[in-house]
Structures are given as structure tokens and as C-alpha cells.
Amino acid sequence: MTESPGPDHSAAPGITLVGGGPADTSALKAALSRAPRVVAADGGADACLAHGLRPAAVVGDMDSLSPAARSAFRDVLVPVAEQNSTDFAKALRHADADFVLAVGFLGGRIDHALAVFSHLAERGSGAPAVVLLSAEDCVCLAPRRLALDLAPGCRVSLWPLGRARLRSTGLRWPLDGLMLEPAGRVGTSNRATGPVTLRCDGPCLLIVPLDALDALASGLGIGAGFA
């Protein structure tokens, strides 16, 4: 990817947040086509530099920033010195956006990904939607109620971050009345039989394939905001 959309997308309601992990090209293209305004979380600035992107801001404690990225984006650095939160959390606190498509937070270090998931649970489902993208997946915190227009056979996985009671329609293996929990029953590798509805009482990750991003966004109420 060699052409940057540039920084002048202040009217766009969403942002593409770039992290310091592997920034898959297909995931990055999917995010940029829907949210062209870019923000980098610390070392994500180097991924922006590698892909020819100009972030509107680089947010973090700057401990992972290369000299090249620091120099290239010196006018948009937003240093946050405290060490009680991750760069992902810092960037979200400073993001003025109705939704976030985040690339570069999955597929790298497992401890970093787990910290991201924990922060999503801490934010709760009432906060602006954050969807994490990788080459394979879209991952978000499931809201209390969600309707998804999915094709039959589409993979639908649910991973509890605490105790979560689920109800569903449109899944090959219904979840009605099930209590999911990390050290107990989980809900991976389910399949849609058509449109899906979910009710989720408790913190739970929803995981669908990358090619279901538009259906997920529509269900989360952010599809109309795509550029």
C-alpha cells in the first residue's frame, strides 16, 4: 500500500486505529475504505510509515516509536506518560470518533491482545464501538442486543470475558439460556443458518470473519457512517 488517504478526514465519524502488531494489508484496506481518518497507537506509527499513511495523531507513551516515525510524525505526536494503561487504551481515550476500526492489535503478542480484550470489557458495551480486524477476523465486545444479517454457514464465535448469559436465534447450535465463562463453557465455531440475533448479558467477545465486516457494522449501528 503506497498511497495515503491523507489527514484531512476530520468529518468522518470513525477512525482507523493502527497498532504496533502485524498490520495485515487486507484488514488495513478494509478499515481505511470505511474509516479513512488514521490514528496510530505508539508503535503503530511505524506501520503507518511502512504503508505510506499519514496519521492525524500518534498517541502513546512513545516507548515503541522508531526514530524514523518520530521524525516523520513529530507534529502530530500526543505523548501520554502514565503507565497504568496500554497504548490502545490511551489512543481510545484521545480518539474523537463514533466508532473505531483497529488494525495491528491481533496476531502479534498474545499478552498484548489479552490486554486489549480486557480493556474492551472494562469499557463496556455502552461505549463507541471498537472492531478489531485481522486477516481472518472481526472481533468486538458483543452489545446486549444485536441483529446480524449473515449468510448461512458464516462462522460466529463467542468468547466470554466473564460470566455471560446468552440467547440466540439463527445459529446452528442455539445459545438460549446458556451461561458462558472463561473457565467453563465457551461458544467458539458456531455457524449462522441465516440472519442471527443475539442477547448477551455479561462481557463477551463476538468474532466473525473479516468478510462479514459490513454485516457486523450494520448490526452495531455504524454501517451508515462508513465513508
pLDDT digit string (tens) for the chain, length 227 residues:
433 344 443 444 899 999 999 899 999 999 999 999 999 999 999 999 999 999 999 999 888 899 999 999 999 999 998 777 889 999 999 888 999 999 999 988 899 899 999 999 999 878 889 999 999 999 999 999 999 999 999 999 999 999 999 999 999 999 998 999 999 999 999 999 999 999 999 999 999 999 999 999 999 999 776 76
Strand residue runs (E) in the chain: 14-18, 38-41, 57-60, 77-79, 99-103, 129-133, 137-141, 145-148, 155-160, 164-171, 178-180, 187-201, 204-209
Q: Half-sphere exposure of 19 toward its Cβ, with a 13 Å CA cutoff? A: 29
CATH 3.40.1710.10 for the 14-135 domain, yes or no: no
What is the structure's pLDDT at 225? Answer: 60
What is the structure's pLDDT at 138? Answer: 98
Q: How far apart are CA 43 and CA 20, in angstroms?
A: 4
> Residue 76: what residue type?
V
- Is 24 strand, coil or helix? coil
Q: How far apart are CA 132 and CA 105, in angstroms?
A: 7
The domain segmentation of the chain, as residue ranges, is: 14-135, 145-204
- Residue 163 CB neighbour total at 10 angstroms: 14
Q: Which of 223, 214, 51, 213 is nearest to 137 (CA)?
A: 213
Specify the DSSP class assigned to residue 143. Answer: P
- Alpha helices (runs of H) in the chain, residue ranges in sequence order: 25-34, 44-50, 67-72, 87-94, 110-123, 213-220
CATH 2.60.120.320 for the 145-204 domain, yes or no: yes
CB 101, CB 133: distance < 8 Å: yes
What is the structure's pLDDT at 227? Answer: 62
